[in-house]
């Protein structure tokens, strides 16, 4: 497989993390290569955001090892990490009255330091990134006054503008409408094709199935499974990890996976169908259509 020969961008070895007494990540061992799109999946509270926080240097008191581009995260100054790792957070803290454009410019600061912004074309870079996310019209708007989906597009654009070698996204498309979900996930594949390692938390398993080369499935802070998307996303595994019945099917047009959580109504209908077919079977003669 092409991915197997690519250098690892992220290496976790026996990684553990806790908030005080609460252990939230336990003994995670995995590697993510440059150019891969890897889905980080798992139920609420399984540790996805905590793992993103470890990798972005926000949670430096972890045990074991977490290396990004060969360097141990806890030993890498935040500013240096920010030059190679971009994050689209689950929730943006909107404290100041910043416009979208200014948010991108601030995000670019670790890359250009004290240089004159205009002389290095930073404005052009920021505007181009906004345009790639369909957010060019939001440049002059205050982040605090945007809808959740608009804000996600701006934060996505901020991450793309940084041209990171490692891109971490935490439910970054959860508030987007279907068009923007597809467009922004398409951007993920583009940046991965250019060599960036992409790790993205998804709650929508259909999007994960469509866009991820591999997935890491977390369950109560442990790695329940790690591997090619189609191998990990199975009825039995998802049903066990998410504690609700989840069907996995193959789309008849695209050949991709379709992941469907079953409502209690659908479960009842299926159970009824099974009962009917059981009672049909002995009576009905074999049919050849
Ligand atoms: N700042 C915090 N202090 C204490 N516990 C926390 C904190 N943040 C998250 N947790 C706990 O850590 C666990 C993992 O949380 P998180 O990584 O946010 O999960 P996920 O992103 O998969 O929903 C949860 O049980 C959560 O309650
Ligand atoms: Mg989370």
pLDDT per position as a tens digit, 238-281:
999 999 999 999 999 999 999 999 999 988 888 888 788 777 65
The C-alpha atoms of residue 155 and residue 200 are separated, in whole angstroms, by 14
CA of 48 to the centre of ligand 2 (A): 5
The model carries a pTM of 0.91
Q: Given the structure tokens 């250009």, which residue do they identify?
A: 112
Q: What pLDDT, on the 0 to 100 scale, is given for residue 99?
A: 95
pLDDT digits (tens, 9 = 90+) for 72-130: 999 999 989 999 999 999 877 777 789 999 999 988 887 776 656 666 688 899 999 99
CA of 47 to the centre of ligand 2 (A): 7
pLDDT digits (tens, 9 = 90+) for 125-181: 999 999 999 999 999 999 999 999 999 999 999 999 999 999 999 999 999 999 999
Nearest alpha carbon, ligand 1 atom 6: 19
Tokens encoding 19: 């908030």
The C-alpha atoms of residue 173 and residue 148 are separated, in whole angstroms, by 10
Residue 289: pLDDT above 60?
Answer: no
Q: Among the bound ligands, name the one nearest to the CA of residue 45.
A: 1
User: Domain limits of the chain?
Assistant: 2-243, 244-281
The C-alpha atoms of residue 245 and residue 267 are separated, in whole angstroms, by 8
Q: Among the bound ligands, name the one nearest to the CA of residue 46.
A: 1
Q: Cα torsion for 263, 267, 269, 273, to the nearest 10°?
A: 150
DSSP string, 13-72: EEEEEEETTEEEEEEEEEEEETT-EEEEE-STTSSHHHHHHHHTTS---EEEEEEETTEE
Q: Helix (H) and strand (E) counts for the chain?
A: 11, 12
The C-alpha atoms of residue 128 and residue 117 are separated, in whole angstroms, by 15
Q: In what order do the strands lie in the sheet with 62-68?
A: 22-33, 8-19, 62-68, 71-72
CA of 141 to the centre of ligand 1 (A): 32
CA of 172 to the centre of ligand 1 (A): 17
- Superfamily in which the 2-243 domain is placed by CATH: P-loop containing nucleotide triphosphate hydrolases (3.40.50.300)
pLDDT digits (tens, 9 = 90+) for 17-51: 999 999 999 999 999 999 999 999 999 999 999 99
Cβ atoms < 10 Å from Cβ of 14: 12
Is 171 close to ligand 1, i.e. is its CB under 6 Å away?
no
Strand (E) positions, 44-189?
62-68, 71-72, 85-88, 166-170
Q: What pLDDT, on the 0 to 100 scale, is given for residue 288?
A: 45
Q: What pLDDT, on the 0 to 100 scale, is given for residue 120?
A: 64
Is 89 close to ligand 1, i.e. is its CB under 6 Å away?
no
Closest ligand 1 atom number to CA of residue 170? 21
Nearest alpha carbon, ligand 1 atom 5: 19
Nearest alpha carbon, ligand 1 atom 26: 45
DSSP state of 254: T
Is 96 close to ligand 1, i.e. is its CB under 6 Å away?
no
Q: Answer with the residue of higher pLDDT: 219 or 60.
A: 219
Judge whether 200 and 37 are in contact, CB under 8 Å.
yes
Which protein residues have their CB within 5 A of the ion that is ligand 2? 48-49
pLDDT band for 3, please (50, 70, 90 cuts).
very low
CA of 20 to the centre of ligand 2 (A): 18
Q: Answer with the residue of higher pLDDT: 1 or 40.
A: 40
CA of 15 to the centre of ligand 2 (A): 18
Nearest alpha carbon, ligand 1 atom 25: 45
CA of 43 to the centre of ligand 2 (A): 9
Task: Look at the alpha carbons of 223, 156, 111, 193 in this order and tell me if their dihedral is positive or negative.
Answer: positive
Is 24 close to ligand 1, i.e. is its CB under 6 Å away?
yes
């Amino acid at each position: 497989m092409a991915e197997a020969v690519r250098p690892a961008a992220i290496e976790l070895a026996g990684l553990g993390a806790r908030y005080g007494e609460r252990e939230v990540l336990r003994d995670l061992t995995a590697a993510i290569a440059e150019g891969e799109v890897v889905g980080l999946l798992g139920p609420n509270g399984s540790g996805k955001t905590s793992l993103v926080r470890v990798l972005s240097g926000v949670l430096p008191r972890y045990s074991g090892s977490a290396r990004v581009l060969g360097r141990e995260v806890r030993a890498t100054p935040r500013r240096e990490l920010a030059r190679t790792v971009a994050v689209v957070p689950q929730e943006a803290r909107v404290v100041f009255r910043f416009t979208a454009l200014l948010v991108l410019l601030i995000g670019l600061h670790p890359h250009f330091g004290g240089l004159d912004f205009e002389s290095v074309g930073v404005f052009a870079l920021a505007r181009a990134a906004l345009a790639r996310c369909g957010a060019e019209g939001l440049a002059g708007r205050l982040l605090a006054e945007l809808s959740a989906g608009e804000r996600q597009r701006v934060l996505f654009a901020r991450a793309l503008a940084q041209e990171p070698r490692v891109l971490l996204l935490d439910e970054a498309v959860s508030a987007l409408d279907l068009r923007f979900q597809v467009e922004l996930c398409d951007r993920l594949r583009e940046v991965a094709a250019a060599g960036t390692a992409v790790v993205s938390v998804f709650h929508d398993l259909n999007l994960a199935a469509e866009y991820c080369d591999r997935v890491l499935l977390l369950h109560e802070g442990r790695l329940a499974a790690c591997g090619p998307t189609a191998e990990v996303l199975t009825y039995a595994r998802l049903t066990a990890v998410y504690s609700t019945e989840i069907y996995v099917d193959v789309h008849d047009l695209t050949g991709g996976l379709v992941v469907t959580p079953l409502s209690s109504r659908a479960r009842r209908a299926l159970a009824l169908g099974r009962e009917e077919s059981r009672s049909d079977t002995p009576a009905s003669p074999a049919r050849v259509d």
